[in-house]
Amino acid sequence: MAENITITVDGRTVDVPSGTLIIEAARKLGIEIPTFCYDDRLRPVGACRMCLVEVEKMPKLIASCATPVAPNMIVHTDSEKVVKARKGVLEFLLINHPLDCPTCDKGGECPLQDNTYTYGPAESRYGENKIRFIEDSKNQKFDDIRLGPEIFLNRNRCIMCFKCVRIVRDLAGEADLGVFQRGSFANINVLEEIELDDEFSGNTVEYCPVGALTSKSFRYKIREWLLKKSPSVCNLCSDGCNMNIEWSRGEVFRHMARRNSGVDDGWLCDRGRYGFDLSRAQDRLVRPHIRRDNKLQACSWDEASALLSKHLQNIIDTNKGSEVAAVGSPILSNEEAFAIRRFFSDVVKSENVDFQTEYPKPIEPELLDLIGLDGSIKDLESDSTFVFIGCDPAVEHPVVSLRIRKAVSTYKAKAVFISSHDKKLGYFPITNIRIPFSAEAAAVNYLVSRISGKTTGDMADFKIDPDGLNRLADNLKNAGRIHIIAGREFFNHPDRAALLVGLIKLKKSTGAKLSILPPQGNFIGVSRFGLFPSLGHSFENMLERIESGEIKTMFVFGANPIDEYPDRKYIHDVLKNLEFLVVVSPFANATASLASVVLPQAMLPDYGGTFLNIEHRAQKFTPMTENPHSDVKPAWAILGELSSLLDMGNIWYSDSQVRKVMIDTIKEIEGLDNLPDNGVVIRFPAKDGYDPGDVSLAEPETPGIDYPYIMNWTPSAHHHGWITEKSDNLMRISGKQIAWMHPDDAAREEISDGQVLRIGTAETALNLPVIITTGVNKGEILIVNSFSANPVNRLLKKGRPTTFVSVRKS
Amino acid sequence: MADFEKILFKNIDFPDQDKIDIYIKNGGYNALRKALDSMSPESVTEEVIKSGLRGRGGAGFPTGRKWTFLPKDSKRPVYLTVNADESEPGTFKDRELIEKDPHLVIEGTLLAAYAIKCGQAYIYIRGEFAFGARQLNKAIEEARAKGFLGKNILGKGVDIEIIVHRGGGAYICGEETALLTSLEGNQGYPRVKPPFPAISGLYSAPTIINNVETLSNIPYIINKGAEKFSAFGTAKSPGTKIFCLSGHINKPGNYELPMGIPLRELLYEYGGGIKDGRNLKAVIPGGSSVPLLTADKVDVRMDFESLAEAGTMLGSAGVIVIDETVCMVRAAYNLARFYQHESCGQCTPCRQGTYWILAILERIERGRGSLKDLDKLLEICENIEGNTICPLGDAATPSVKSTIHHFRDEYEYHITEQKCKVSMGPRFE
Amino acid sequence: MGTTVNKLLSEKSIKELNRLKGLYPVRKSVVLMVLHVIYDQFGYIQPEALKEAAGIMEIPLIDFHQAASFYTMFPREAVGKYHIQVCRTLSCELRGSQELVAFLKEKLEIDMGGITSDSMFSLTEVECLGSCGTAPMMQINDTYYENLTRARVEQILDDLRSKSGNG
Ligand SMILES: Cc1cc2nc3c(=O)[nH]c(=O)nc-3n(C[C@H](O)[C@H](O)[C@H](O)COP(=O)(O)O)c2cc1C
Ligand code: SF4
Ligand code: FES
């Protein structure tokens, strides 16, 4: 495969690996061949014929997008024949095209328009009727069809490049979109009862070469040329997809992919894409508030800062730094995290910082080195066996899961999921090995014993059916590149210590890569740059100290513990004990409503900074340069100003200044001040040889008679955490909270599909519609979390990630 | 009328020829037995190469040579797909073979499969041939019962399965790569070549596609030897060929005759002359996709080379006879409608071009044409030709171009007088 | 994910589907064959039955709909008990297919694409059916009727009518 082939394009020679397409070889010489249907990331179809070139000794023109180079090819991309053929193709494309450019959303960024301008015929010779597809709905006629909650299709503008179909089918592996009819009447559509709403659907709109596909949230709002672009990085999960935030007069209109081949490869998931309206959400905090007369009332920054500095000055003067705690969150930038740590240890003299408000138990410090992706995102394409434990890549890491989908769909890799409920990668073939809820640790330990030929112990205690695991163990013994990936459920796992031990052993016994992937945005950045409680109290301990009165003041940055912490009642009661609670947040939220002071925090795209993604890649995001929210500030700015009010000097006037200090303090992040467009992977020295030793498995819990079901929860692909609920777009796409249960359980409880259930403990309950499916275990109720109307943490009890519930018709 | 031994139609009208006992009684399955007994796969291929047999599906590619394009010692299974999609207007020969002598098709298929070391063959038969599919399936079961097909054929350790796969009504599925895409369960979209099917075909595995008639020649070649076969026909187009006569001819039907027979002999001696004693106007000699011949060319010989020299093609040898009463605009419109209807819609020039041609021809038909339309039509044809994924685009233009070329006066009359220059009387009796 | 209980597919159809399941190295190859099964049972692509079949075959429903709309043999809505398809391509037109169509329209008192009020006959035109030497011709359901004349067409229609006891 490695051999190179030399070809000549327009008189210049180029050397390319065999298998390279002619169009790519030309590109290497800087020769752009016009296309419509070609995309280097999608299977070539050679359908539009725009890319025809002349190859000497070949009787016909050939599609450069679908033909690999051959030795000594002599290619002409601009010969008379080629020019004529292109003109012909464009003329053909336009005969049934509506030419409604003035009212078309694609105007200004339309490849059909651009190519016609450059290569097309000067005038139209077409005088016949155009084919018109009309959608007849409720006695009204429309050109547009609603394909899903966000996406509309005008088939008349479609030029049949098949990109959308390839994106939906070959890339995402969804069967939502298809081609119907044939010939001149061939058209793209969905089936009546099916919606185009998979987690990548927005890419179809971005890559449609005409205005056929449009987004509800963008269309008819603004012309493309009025938009300014701020290069940014999505932080709604930890993949770190690059994007442009496109805005005008301080209003964000859309997010578009900004291709970083090593990370997102130019794809954006719908959560990241359509979450663009977050910064203008209804609940957005734009002014400081202080509590007066037991009510939060808007005030000026001067007032709020004066109050804060007075309070802190008192603490500093009385040396009571240890009575203060600061809580951050993975939505913060690296600079914010660093500044928080710096401020509290240097100015306030408190080491009580943490960001782990979501977990029942804090992470062991040694675990930090294991968190993140083993290898690069790109490397995933060459792994051959993926074993997912407590991780749902489609939901937690949508765009990174595309690499895995690619490997799986081309039969280069197998994906195996060990879980209590079925997971999927579109319709691509995967294996689900079902185990009882939270039996991951037992299952992994079983696998390890089986692989190393030791006695496997009795699985009956854990009610694990060993068949699937046996098969997996046998396969792992002679598999190629194995990659074990743990995710969100790992962090919430009741027996996390034992699971970790098992995973490390499994890695050793199979020579696998092991990745433990946190789903939340800048988890790795905030933990590496200051918010990990290395010297002070973890969040869990802070709560106890608040109860005992040792901690009296708390600052919360970007977090919302009341919605996050896995015991809502407890955290609420504890936080009420605080004398002084400061909430710095982009949004009003449940925690803020308890605060003494609430400060409006900057979020994308109000400010600039950097994030670290799962592969420890530092990437830069930039603000829009006009912002009507003049009062919102990033944490480092707030703390910098406070610091100067406290006469400690403000050293932070910009994110790059914070970075300078960071670089001075932390050696290994040298490149951080001068990040290239595609970011830099930072290699933190690992404290190697971490051996957690042996841990015995926790006894499985058994449900009681009154509360026979175990409750489990999952995020959804479009919505995870309390923030995304603020996005009208995302709620429109996936705003329905549901629960799943097994048909046997449903039959026993006489519950039918779609019925609203009361899912509860002795104290409280949630009311949710149910979907009945064999995709979950018997005895398990799986709930989509992160909806404030029915928060799962209302059912949970401190220290335990799960609970037993009863189920009744509501 | 020269006397000669028929290769394909020897027993076509023999009573119960479709039953295996009769087929065997008439010498059937001897070739298979002979090949398995005494010939290696390579020597079967060798014999076919020597015979000079060329594909009967339209392109006339040498059959044995095609087989040698398969990669040697492929790790993937090799597939054989038999093209029984027969949808080219004017062509109906494969259907007769399948319906009346299905075992001949099966035996040919088995021999080809043996030659290319294929264990799984598919016969892709056009969906409308429901009877033909039943005939083939019946023949397969009979052959299986007698040990000619399935596991360990004739005790020689050779396994060959044949599945009859029914199409769903789409001319394009006769194009070999569209056939494969269709067989994989998709719309019949042709694929860009390379890669050629012999390298990456069905399920991306090495695949050979051959026409029904092509394969039906193989038993004879194996039985009687390559020389006997190539004694018929011309040097470059050896063997016999089934010519399908349709249109204004007294005795329409299939005629197996040596390649190179003069068109005149075919029409007047075998076909019984032009219907109702009228004069010949034109002949489309190779199915609707080839340029027509005007009446003065009736002495051309019917083989690949001679027809190419005459500016047309042998194609599928569907000979459509057109008499003097036919309006050539109407004929062109009829075929334009066919190609517009059958374009798969994948590539731009064919999808849009066939639509545009039809729209213009329809307008001319309705008497709303303009003289400028004729050059426009020719330019549209030019913009389609050679620029499409598969040859359907190229197949759509000859009927337009050759009618304009030879019968421009009829077009002009149609445009200026808003009616047909000639009109066809009632033909339905 | 809810399971539908109403079974439209006949036992024969289900048996055939199960046979098809393991027939091809890649399951999706069955798409056309499954459409034939539905067509054979219902005379058209009955949407609910197709859903059932897609479920049995574990192939996305849309794949069947794409195919059903690409290929011409599968009516998407109910047609007459006898579905008449007249070939309209050149060889047949040269032998009078246009007049044949006119004759059928008159006899059945329906238009192209229409269906008789008793749902007995429906009429469409199709492209070349590979029967050019025996033109004009028509296909009624699975059967070819060739070398047609007015008398023969009348006879055929009468026979079909009386076969259905409607005569
Ligand atoms: C549009 C189109 C339709 C075709 N239809 C048929 C057909 O119906 N039957 C057939 O055997 N070949 C057909 N062919 C030719 C096939 O692509 C292929 O060349 C042939 O099946 C090879 O078999 P042979 O080498 O035995 O002729 C068609 C080609 C094109 C471009
Ligand atoms: S030439 Fe016509 S039939 Fe062939 S691929 Fe293109 S659109 Fe399809
Ligand atoms: S870009 Fe090559 S055919 Fe469309």
Average pLDDT over residues C118-140: 97
Q: Determine the residue among C128, C139, C148, C153 to mutate to test chain B binding: the one whose Cβ has the most chain B Cβ atoms within 10 Å.
A: C128
A179 touches chain C (CB under 8 A): yes
Asked if the model's pLDDT at residue A687 lies above 80, the reply is no
Other Cβ atoms closer than 10 A to A703: 14
Model pLDDT, residue C2: 41
Q: How many angstroms is it from B349 CA to the middle of ligand 2?
A: 8
Average model confidence (pLDDT) across chain B = 97
Q: Which of C104, C125, C103 is nearest to C113 (CA)?
A: C125
Asked if the model's pLDDT at residue A457 lies above 80, the reply is no
Specify the residue with its C-alpha closest to ligand 2, atom 6: B347
Ligand 2 touching residue B172 (CB < 6 A): yes
Whether A697 is in a domain gets the answer no
A664 and A596 both lie in a single domain: yes
| Termini Cα distance of chain C | 48
Q: Which of B421, B375, B388, B252 is nearest to B320 (CA)?
A: B252
> Among partner residues B351, B384, B387, which is closest to A184 by beta-carbon distance?
B351
- Asked if the Cβ–Cβ distance from C69 to A182 is below 8 Å, we say yes
CATH of the domain at A53: 3.10.20.740
Give the separation between CA B84 and CA A241, rounded to whole angstroms. 51
ipTM of the complex: 0.96
Average pLDDT over residues B402-420: 97
Ligand 2 touching residue B55 (CB < 6 A): no
- DSSP run (H or E) holding A353: strand A353-354
B187 touches chain C (CB under 8 A): yes
C-chain residues within 8 Å CB-CB of A194? 61-62
Q: Which of B196, B284, B204 is nearest to B246 (CA)?
A: B284
Give the range among A141-150, A172-181, A386-395, A558-567 with minimum mean pLDDT: A141-150
> Among partner residues C71, C100, C130, which is closest to B170 by beta-carbon distance?
C71
- DSSP run (H or E) holding A137: strand A135-137
Average pLDDT over residues A267-291: 96
> Among partner residues B120, B187, B247, which is closest to C70 by beta-carbon distance?
B187
Tell me how many domains chain A contains: 5
8 Å CB contact between A171 and A408: no
CATH of the domain at A613: 3.40.50.740
Q: How far is A217 from chain C (nearest CA, A)?
A: 27
Task: Give the number of the atom of ligand 1 that is nearest the alpha carbon of residue B215.
Answer: 26
- Amino acid at the residue B214: T
Q: Residues of chain A with pLDDT > 70: what percent?
A: 99
Supply φ then ψ for residue A807, to 5 degrees: -135, 130
Domain of residue A17 covers: 4-93
pLDDT, tens digit (0-9, with 9 covering 90-100), for A759-799? 999 989 999 999 999 999 999 999 999 899 999 999 999 98
Average pLDDT over residues A75-83: 97
8 Å CB contact between A607 and A331: no
Q: What CATH number is given for C82-163 in this structure?
A: 3.40.30.10
pLDDT, tens digit (0-9, with 9 covering 90-100), for A351-399? 999 999 999 889 988 889 899 999 999 999 999 999 999 999 999 999 9
Whether A491 is in a domain gets the answer yes
C96 touches chain B (CB under 8 A): yes
**Confidence band (pLDDT; 50, 70, 90) for B425?**
confident
Pocket around ligand 1 at a 6 A CB cut-off: B 55-59, 61, 63, 83, 85-88, 172, 174-176, 209-211, 214, 390-392, 395
A-chain residues within 8 Å CB-CB of B187? 179, 182
Average pLDDT over residues A713-730: 92
pLDDT, tens digit (0-9, with 9 covering 90-100), for A591-614? 999 999 999 999 999 999 999 999
Q: How many angstroms is it from A119 CA to the middle of ligand 3?
A: 15
A540 and A675 both lie in a single domain: yes
C51 touches chain A (CB under 8 A): no
**Confidence band (pLDDT; 50, 70, 90) for A458?**
low
A428 and A570 both lie in a single domain: no
- Asked if the Cβ–Cβ distance from A180 to C2 is below 8 Å, we say no
Q: How many angstroms is it from B191 CA to the middle of ligand 1?
A: 14
pLDDT, tens digit (0-9, with 9 covering 90-100), for A643-656? 999 998 877 889 99
pLDDT, tens digit (0-9, with 9 covering 90-100), for A504-550? 999 999 999 999 999 999 999 999 999 999 899 999 999 999 999 99
Burial pattern A184-215, b for ≥16 Cβ within 10 A else e, equals bbbbbbbbeebbbbbbbbbbbbbbbbbbbbbb
> Among partner residues A177, A182, A772, which is closest to C2 by beta-carbon distance?
A772
A537 and A665 both lie in a single domain: yes
Give the separation between CA C130 and CA B246, rounded to whole angstroms. 11
- Asked if the Cβ–Cβ distance from A95 to B355 is below 8 Å, we say yes
- Asked if the Cβ–Cβ distance from A183 to B355 is below 8 Å, we say yes
Residues with Cβ within 8 Å of residue B411, at least 6 apart in sequence: B328, B329, B364, B369, B374, B403, B404
**Confidence band (pLDDT; 50, 70, 90) for C167?**
very low
Give the separation between CA A808 and CA A770, rounded to whole angstroms. 11
A335 and A355 both lie in a single domain: yes
- In the three-class reduction of DSSP (H, G, I as helix; E, B as strand; rest coil), residue A115 is classed as helix
Give the separation between CA A32 and CA A16, rounded to whole angstroms. 16
Q: Determine the residue among C27, C57, C69, C71 to mutate to test chain A binding: the one whose Cβ has the most chain A Cβ atoms within 10 Å.
A: C69
Whether A120 is in a domain gets the answer no
Asked if the model's pLDDT at residue A748 lies above 70, the reply is yes
- In the three-class reduction of DSSP (H, G, I as helix; E, B as strand; rest coil), residue A587 is classed as strand
Give the separation between CA A770 and CA A169, rounded to whole angstroms. 28
Model pLDDT, residue B2: 56
Residues with Cβ within 8 Å of residue A620, at least 6 apart in sequence: A231, A233, A608, A609, A610, A675, A679
Asked if the model's pLDDT at residue C1 lies above 60, the reply is no
Residues with Cβ within 8 Å of residue A13, at least 6 apart in sequence: A6, A7
Model pLDDT, residue C164: 81
* Ligand 3 mutation target, pool A22, A35, A62, most atoms within 8 A of CB: A35
A769 and A796 both lie in a single domain: yes
C146 touches chain B (CB under 8 A): no
Whether A313 is in a domain gets the answer yes
- Asked if the Cβ–Cβ distance from B185 to C67 is below 8 Å, we say yes
Angle, helix A635-645 to helix A301-317, in steps of 10 degrees: 60
Model pLDDT, residue B429: 87
**Confidence band (pLDDT; 50, 70, 90) for A688?**
low
Model pLDDT, residue A799: 83
Residues with Cβ within 8 Å of residue A337, at least 6 apart in sequence: A328, A355, A522, A525, A526, A529, A530, A531
- In the three-class reduction of DSSP (H, G, I as helix; E, B as strand; rest coil), residue A434 is classed as strand
Give the separation between CA C50 and CA C57, rounded to whole angstroms. 10
Pick the residue from chain C with its C-alpha nearest to A774: C1
Q: Which of residues 257-316 of B touch C (CB under 8 A)?
A: 284, 288
If one compares B33 and A460, the residue with the highest pLDDT of the two is B33
Give the separation between CA C90 and CA C135, rounded to whole angstroms. 10
B188 touches chain C (CB under 8 A): yes
Specify the residue with its C-alpha closest to ligand 1, atom 6: B174
8 Å CB contact between B179 and A191: no
Residue ranges and CATH numbers for the domains of chain B are 20-230 (3.40.50.11540), 240-323 (3.10.20.600), 328-417 (1.20.1440.230)
pLDDT, tens digit (0-9, with 9 covering 90-100), for B202-237? 999 999 999 999 999 999 999 999 999 999 999 999
**Confidence band (pLDDT; 50, 70, 90) for A702?**
confident
CATH of the domain at A240: 2.20.25.90
Average model confidence (pLDDT) across chain A = 94
Asked if the model's pLDDT at residue C62 lies above 80, the reply is yes
- Asked if the Cβ–Cβ distance from C67 to B322 is below 8 Å, we say no
Model pLDDT, residue A532: 95
- Asked if the Cβ–Cβ distance from C72 to B247 is below 8 Å, we say no
pLDDT, tens digit (0-9, with 9 covering 90-100), for B58-104? 999 999 999 999 999 888 999 999 999 999 999 999 999 999 999 99
C22 touches chain B (CB under 8 A): no
> Among partner residues C74, C99, C129, which is closest to B426 by beta-carbon distance?
C99
- What letter would DSSP give residue A366? G
- What letter would DSSP give residue B292? -
Pairing state of beta strands A62-63 and A780-784? Answer: unpaired
DSSP string over B397-416: SHHHHHHHHHHHHHHHHHHH
* Ligand 1 mutation target, pool B82, B97, B211, most atoms within 8 A of CB: B211
B91 touches chain C (CB under 8 A): yes
Handedness of CA A33, A34, A40, A42 (dihedral sign): negative
